[in-house]
Amino acid sequence: NTGLTEDELAFYDALAENESAKEIMGDDILKQIARDLTEAIRKNLSIDWSIRASVQAKMKMIIKRLLKHYGYPPDKTPKAVEIVMEQAKLMCQNESSGVRYQYQLVKEELPKVAEKRENI
């Protein structure tokens, strides 16, 4: 259990996708950034934000400031901002439609060593 909401987990995964950022910053800081991003994005959501360039620019600025505040690696920031913006768009769509998406990490199920395998 990560202690994060589904929205926070989506942002955490976006930030932790960069292995070096995860190693440099640590899990706890990435979780805090994810919480702060979720709060900041919720405060700044508007129905049409995903189509209005000025609102998108403001949202990107907020994300960049948060990442800089926490010392996220500058060379990894552009990719992180891009992924966080995509997650924010999904969050906005879900908030406006009233439908909650189910965020889930997909893991491939492999047979355990001791399990009987068929067709080998």
* Tens-binned pLDDT, residue by residue, of the chain (120 aa): 778 998 899 899 989 888 888 888 999 999 999 999 999 988 877 666 667 788 888 889 999 999 999 999 999 999 999 999 888 888 777 665 554 444 444 333 444 444 444 554
* Within a domain: 102: no
63 in a structural domain:
yes
C-alpha closest to that of 41 among 96, 98, 81, 92: 92
Residue with tokens 């706890």: 28
Q: What's the pTM value of the predicted model, to 2 decimals?
A: 0.72
Q: The domain containing residue 36 runs over which residues?
A: 6-96
- For the chain, helix, strand, coil in percent to 5 are 65, 0, 35
Dig out the tokens for 37 from the structure. 């991003």
* Number of domains comprising the chain: 1
53 touches 35 (CB < 8 A): no
In a domain, 118, yes or no: no
What is the token pair recorded at 25? 């910053």
Q: What length does the chain have?
A: 120
Question: Quick one: DSSP state of residue 100?
Answer: P
The answer as to whether 26 is a domain residue is: yes
